[in-house]
Structure formats: C-alpha cells, structure tokens
C-alpha cells in the first residue's frame, strides 16, 4: 500500500473516532438527534470537509505519481522506438552498402581496364580482364579497387602519372567522377545512421573504396600522396560533378 493511502486511512480513522467521541461523549446522541435538520447538515459538513480536502490532496499526489510513471514509461518506449529505428536504418544501410560496393568495384574495374587494357598500357588483355571481373563479381567486389590503389602507389613519384591514370582521358575522368559521386552518397548514408561516427570513419579511412576515394581527391587537388591514412578533404569539399 502506498504510504499516502496509509496516511489518509490513519488520519480518517483518527478523525472519525474523535468525532464520534465528541458526538457521543460531549453533545450526546439524543441531543444530536433533536437538532434541526439544517444544523445536523452543517455539523456533518464541517465534520467531513477536512477529510474530503485530505483525500483530494492525496488523490492529487497519487495522480502526479501515475503521471510521472506514465511519462517514464513513454520515455522508455520512445528510446526503444528510436533504437529500433536506428537498427532498421543500419540494416537498410548495410544492404545498400553491399550494392554500392559492387557498383564501386564495377566502376573501378572499367577504370582499370581503361588504364591497363589494350587501349592503355596493354598490361592486361580482354580475356584476363573478363576472368578477373568474374572473380570480383563472385567473391571480391573490391578487387579492382585495390588494383587501382596499387597503380596509384606504384606511380606516385612519376610526374603526371596520377593525373593520367585518373583524368588522362574523358573516360577515365568520368570513371573517377562516377566513383567519387557513388562513394559520397554511400558516405552520406553512413553518416545519417551512425551516431558514433564509427561506420563513417571505417568506411572513409578503413575500406579500399575509401582509400581510393581519398586518392582521387588528392589527385584532383594536385597534391602528392604522402599517406593514405586520414581524411585529406571532407565529402562536402569534393567537387560537384554532373
């Protein structure tokens, strides 16, 4: 039992007992019954008015307690709903992540073919490209992304090589722009569902696609690739491409 109710019952019992003692011991039952009806009503009204006020106050505090409990329950439900919403958003993001990773791998594959294929350096034939593309599609979507990173690292000290690799032709520039645009969209979605910035940081600084994206940003800014760790420029700083 709530202590307020126990307190109210105790006061009520004491008050009624004191009232009966006053009525029977001092006024007298016979004298009370001979009083006019209006006087009896006034007596009862005065006798029970304090009790009515007491229980009104107790009811108010009990109601406040219930409101507080309901507010706390609603707050817990809201936090639970937010957690479920974030969990659902993250599930959706990771499904999107898998699809976009495949897209990024495909873009990097055609970019690699443009650089190292028959129309480029000739290091890889069409048949070899088809075999590697099948391998990438089956088990390793970042295969060509890593190959592009290797090209950038191997040619980092060659004057003009990085510009040629990423922007030497219209096709290569288009591949670089498409890769950057797709990665920026993926990064934006990661930031939207990542309250701790863990997912976005891992995507940007720990994934092959993130490293290649930063390499492209370096080349766009005519900067040498000193280190592939860290974010040289934010996604908002990246050039807008049509």
Would the pLDDT of 227 be above 70? no
Average pLDDT, the chain: 82
Torsion-angle region of 225 (φ positive above 0: left; ψ -120 to 50: alpha; else: beta): beta
Number of H helices, E strands in the chain: 9, 0
Q: Between the CA of residue 32 and those of 14, 21, 29, 53, 217, what are the distances in Å? A: 21, 13, 5, 25, 100
CA distance 217 to 70: 53
Alpha-carbon distances of 98 from 23, 47, 92, 146, rounded to whole Å: 86, 78, 10, 17
CA 96-98-104 angle, to 5 degrees, is 100
Find all residues with CB under 8 Å of 92, minimum gap 6, and list them. 193
Asked if residues 215 and 151 have their Cβ atoms less than 8 Å apart, the reply is: no
Alpha carbon distance 111, 34 (integer Å) = 111
Cα–chain center distance at 9: 50
Quick one: tokens of 222? 């005519």
> pLDDT tens for residues 63-85?
888 888 888 888 888 888 877 77
Which helix (H) or strand (E) covers residue 50, if one does? helix 37-116
12/166 Cα distance (integer angstroms): 89
DSSP-derived letter for residue 155 is T
238 or 24, greater pLDDT: 24
**From the CB of residue 28, how many other CB atoms can be counted at a distance below 10 Å?**
11
Closest to 210 measured CA to CA, from 173, 237, 171, 182: 182
- In angstroms, the CA 162 to CA 165 distance is 5
Residue-wise pLDDT for 84-96, tens only, equals 777 777 778 888 8
What confidence tens digit (pLDDT) does each residue in 132-170 have? 888 888 888 899 999 999 999 888 888 888 899 999 999
């Amino acid at each position: 039992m709530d202590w307020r109710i126990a307190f109210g019952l105790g006061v009520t019992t004491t008050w009624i007992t004191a009232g009966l003692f006053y009525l029977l011991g001092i006024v007298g039952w016979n004298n009370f019954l001979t009083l006019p009806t209006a006087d009896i009503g006034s007596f009862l009204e005065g006798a029970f008015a304090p009790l009515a006020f007491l229980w009104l106050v107790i009811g108010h505090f009990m109601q406040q307690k219930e409101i507080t409990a309901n507010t706390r329950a609603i707050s817990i439900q809201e936090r639970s709903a937010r957690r479920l919403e974030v969990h659902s958003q993250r599930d959706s993001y990771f499904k999107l992540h898998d699809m976009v990773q495949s897209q990024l791998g495909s873009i990097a594959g055609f970019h690699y073919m443009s650089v190292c294929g028959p129309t480029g350096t000739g290091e890889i034939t069409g048949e070899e490209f088809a075999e590697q593309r099948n391998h990438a599609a089956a088990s390793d979507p970042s295969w060509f992304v890593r190959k592009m990173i290797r090209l950038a690292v191997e040619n980092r000290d060659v004057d003009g090589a990085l510009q040629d690799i990423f922007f030497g032709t219209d096709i290569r520039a288009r591949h670089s722009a498409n890769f950057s645009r797709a990665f920026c969209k993926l990064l934006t979605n990661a930031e939207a569902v990542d309250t701790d910035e863990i997912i976005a940081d891992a995507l940007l600084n720990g994934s092959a696609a993130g490293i290649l994206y930063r390499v492209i940003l370096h080349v766009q800014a005519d900067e040498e690739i000193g280190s592939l760790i860290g974010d040289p420029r934010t996604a908002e700083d990246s050039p807008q491409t049509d």
